[in-house]
Amino acid sequence: MILNKKQSDNKFLIDLYAPSLGVDVSWALAIAMTESSLGIDQKSSTGCRGVFQMSLIAMKDLLQEMEKNNDDLVDILCGLLFLRLLLKRWKTVEDATLHYCDPADSHFYLDRVKHYMKEFKEDL
C-alpha cells in the first residue's frame, strides 16, 4: 500500500505504540484506515476526532477506565500527550511547566522540575 507522508507518520506511531498496549498492529492500522484514511480525512459530522475518529464519550470512557483500574500505561500516555499539548500551546518547557502546576506553587514547582531535568540529563 502506498502511503503519503502524513499516513506514514501515523502508521509509524501506531506501529510503535500498539504492541506495548497489547493491540494487534494490523487491526489498529485497519481501523485507522477505515475511520480516517490513516489521518487524511479527520472531519466527522458526528463530532468524532482524530485518526481513530474517537468520540468525546469514548475518550471519557477511556479515562474513567484508567482511573478505575489504575492503568499506568494509559496514565503515562495521557500525561505525555498533555505535556505535548502544553508545549505546543506555550512554546517553552518553562512556560509549559508553569501552566502544568497550581499557580500558587509555580516558582517552587518550576525550580524542582529544572533540578530533576538536570539530574536526568546527567544520567544520560
Model confidence at 74, pLDDT cuts 50, 70, 90, reads confident
Burial 6-31 (b: 16+ CB within 10 A, else e): ebeebbeebeeebeeeeeeeeebbeb
**pTM score:** 0.70
Rounded CA separation 39/41 (Å): 6
In this structure, are residues 106 and 90 in contact, taking their beta carbons and an 8 Å threshold? no
Q: State residue 100 phi and psi, 5-degree precision.
A: -85, -30
- Burial group, residue 80, by CB count within 10 angstroms (0-12, 13-18, 19+): exposed
pLDDT above 90 for 100: yes
